[in-house]
Amino acid sequence: MNNALVKKLEGYVPLDAEDKRLLDSVLQEPRTVVPRVDIASEGEKPVFVHLILDGFACRYKFTAEGSRQIMAYLLPGDFCDLHVFVLKHMDHSIGTISKCTVVDIPRDQILKLLERPRLSLALWCCALVDAAVLREWLLNVGQRHAAQRLAHVLCELLVRLRIVGLADNSYELPLTQSDLADTIGTSNVHLNRVLQELRRAKLIAWKGHHLVILDIEQLMKFSGFNPNYLHVGKDGADELAL
Amino acid sequence: MNNALVKKLEGYVPLDAEDKRLLDSVLQEPRTVVPRVDIASEGEKPVFVHLILDGFACRYKFTAEGSRQIMAYLLPGDFCDLHVFVLKHMDHSIGTISKCTVVDIPRDQILKLLERPRLSLALWCCALVDAAVLREWLLNVGQRHAAQRLAHVLCELLVRLRIVGLADNSYELPLTQSDLADTIGTSNVHLNRVLQELRRAKLIAWKGHHLVILDIEQLMKFSGFNPNYLHVGKDGADELAL
DNA sequence: CGAGCCCTTGAAACTCGTCAATGATCGTGG
DNA sequence: CCACGATCATTGACGAGTTTCAAGGGCTCG
């Protein structure tokens, strides 16, 4: 299971045996979390860094008026809140979407990992790639039309799920249309309409929770998707400088 | 000058004399950059991490169709691209808005700073706060109306400029309306209209490049602004766990 | 003084949100 | 196993928010 994380980190920085032993020691007690439940909530004092081993989670936040913005999807191998282990309060929440397997890593364990130079760099990479994804989402929501935004999100999920071996030309997508609407900043009604637009254009098919990408070429072109911002090459490593 | 950076970092983590000496040694050769010029460009191999000592810069990116999204404003004391020192290619550009004083820090100097535990944590804080700001921008652009979005950005700039002593109830804002439009994801025409809305409501006054916040209470309430996400307390320190 | 950029304004078209109602799907308990 | 309720998806009509196009006015700098 933890191979997902080790594989991801080694995609960034080669690790030695002691690095891996240390990582392993941190992933000892995974637990299962039911769907649609918070793993961490806004305002809390962060005690643990959470790592997703299996399942689909998201990072989100509400406005004062009560509308929700999803700010990241968290897939197997992803840290949920590495970015917040130094901060006093969570400025957003983490919630499961499907059933998840999660590890809670105490803050001081993370500090111990950071003492090892290669692990430290690998964790930097995680944080920096997360930020890169966030920037692309801002561009997406700020500058593209709803149909392009939706297509872009679906492209990103395809690429990221492929990296962890959970997609080929299709994948399980446990999201509701309202989730997607809150991701790209539209109403759920409008999301439904642009979704049908993509279906009519024979770019995707989506039924149950199974999404099929019918024409990835066109879908990428239509949405302006360019995977560079994910900083992962074909073999999962060659886009990093280290 | 470099006091701005030291002060900011010490707001996160107390530094010892050797830490400060090391920081100082890194800020030796500032240079001046004229307005409206790129400091770093998308696609480039990043060689330096850039630090703003004085002036106003921004992080931005274009879509394939040619529309621009501004993804961050960079103020004195801010690292422009700390987040990218481990990546092979810039996935966005950094450009000046006003005349800027900048220091170029070689990548291996940054690695040297990271070897010192306290400096390493301080730099983590910088990166993580940047990401927190980015998340708030995504919420802003995704969920709020144009007038609220604009008001929110103006609130954030007020708070951040106050921290570095460049604002009281007003500040110099060298942006054009098109810059602001590309920040909140509207057309410049519409930005102009919502700007006048804020003026009519007596929330702000903006003439030349001088912005006056007439009613900060109302402006914050109107935009849903809550400074928590900046992770800075009244004394600039008490919101961090270290 | 002129050129260029920036700001401002109006009108028309379009994207998208809201409201409301109907239909489909799924999990659960009877 | 079916019925039920709840959640989710879909559709239509209308209105609000926003974009685009186009033109005019103001400011600044050489």
Res B26 pLDDT > 50: yes
Domain count within chain B: 2
**Same domain assignment for residues A112 and A209:** no
Residue B137, domain member (yes or no): no
Instruction: Tell me the residue range of the domain where A167 lies.
Output: 145-238
CB of B134 within 8 Å of a chain A CB? The answer is yes
Assign residue B110 the CATH number of its domain: 2.60.120.10
**B119-162: pLDDT as tens digits:** 999 999 999 999 999 999 999 999 999 999 999 999 999 999 99
> Is A66 near strand C, with its CB below 7 A from some atom of it?
no
**Close Cβ partners of B17 (under 8 Å, ≥ 6 residues apart):** none
Indicate the residue among B97, B131, B165 that finishes a domain.
B131
- Residues of B from 25 to 84 whose C-beta is within 7 A of strand D: which are they? none
SS (H, E, C) chain B: CCHHHHHHHHHHCCCCHHHHHHHHHHCCCCEEECCCCEEECCCCCCCEEEEEEECCEEEEEECCCCCEEEEEEECCCCECCHHHCCECCCCCEEEECCCEEEEEEEHHHHHHHHCCHHHHHHHHHHHHHHHHHHHHHHHHHHHCCHHHHHHHHHHHHHHHHHHCCCCCCEEECCCCHHHHHHHHCCCHHHHHHHHHHHHHCCCEEEECCEEEECCHHHHHHHHCCCHHHHCCCCCCCCCECC
Residue B139, domain member (yes or no): no
**Same domain assignment for residues A84 and A181:** no
**Same domain assignment for residues A48 and A83:** yes
**Same domain assignment for residues B126 and B165:** no
CB of A61 within 8 Å of a chain B CB? The answer is yes
Indicate the residue among B81, B102, B131 that finishes a domain.
B131
**Same domain assignment for residues A13 and A81:** yes
List B93's β-bridge partners, or say none: B60
Q: Chain A, 31-60: which have a CB under 8 Å from a chain B CB?
A: 45-46, 59
Under 8 Å between Cβ of B146 and B140 = no
User: How near does any CA of chain A get to the CA of B28, in Å?
Assistant: 26
- Residues of chain A in contact with residue B114, where contact means CB-CB under 8 angstroms, are 120
pLDDT at site A237: 41
**Same domain assignment for residues A149 and A121:** no
User: How near does any CA of chain B get to the CA of A229, in Å?
Assistant: 6
Residue B183, domain member (yes or no): yes
> Is B177 near strand C, with its CB below 7 A from some atom of it?
yes
**B107-122: pLDDT as tens digits:** 999 999 999 999 999 9
Assign residue A152 the CATH number of its domain: 1.10.10.10
Residues of chain B with pLDDT > 70: what percent?
Answer: 95
**Same domain assignment for residues B19 and B114:** yes
**Close Cβ partners of B104 (under 8 Å, ≥ 6 residues apart):** B29, B31, B48, B49, B50
**Same domain assignment for residues B121 and B152:** no
Residue B138, domain member (yes or no): no
Q: Are strands B38-40 and A210-213 parallel, antiparallel or unpaired?
A: unpaired
Res B54 pLDDT > 90: yes
Residue B215, domain member (yes or no): yes
**Same domain assignment for residues B8 and B123:** yes
**Same domain assignment for residues B150 and B61:** no
Residue B43, domain member (yes or no): yes
Residue A84, domain member (yes or no): yes
Q: Which residue has the tokens 């290669």?
A: A118
**Same domain assignment for residues A231 and A151:** yes
**Same domain assignment for residues B186 and B211:** yes
Cα gap A85→A191, rounded to integer Å: 35
**Among partner residues B130, B134, B224, which is closest to A138 by beta-carbon distance?**
B134
Which of the nucleotides in strand C have any atom less than 7 Å away from a protein CB atom?
A: 5-11, 15-20, 25-26
**A42-67: pLDDT as tens digits:** 999 999 999 999 999 999 999 999 99
Task: Give every residue of chain A whose pLDDT is below 50, as ranges.
Answer: 234-242
Residues A165, A228, A183, A81: is their CA dihedral positive or negative? Answer: positive
Question: In degrees rounded to 5, what are phi and psi of residue A74?
Answer: -110, 120
Residue A8, domain member (yes or no): yes
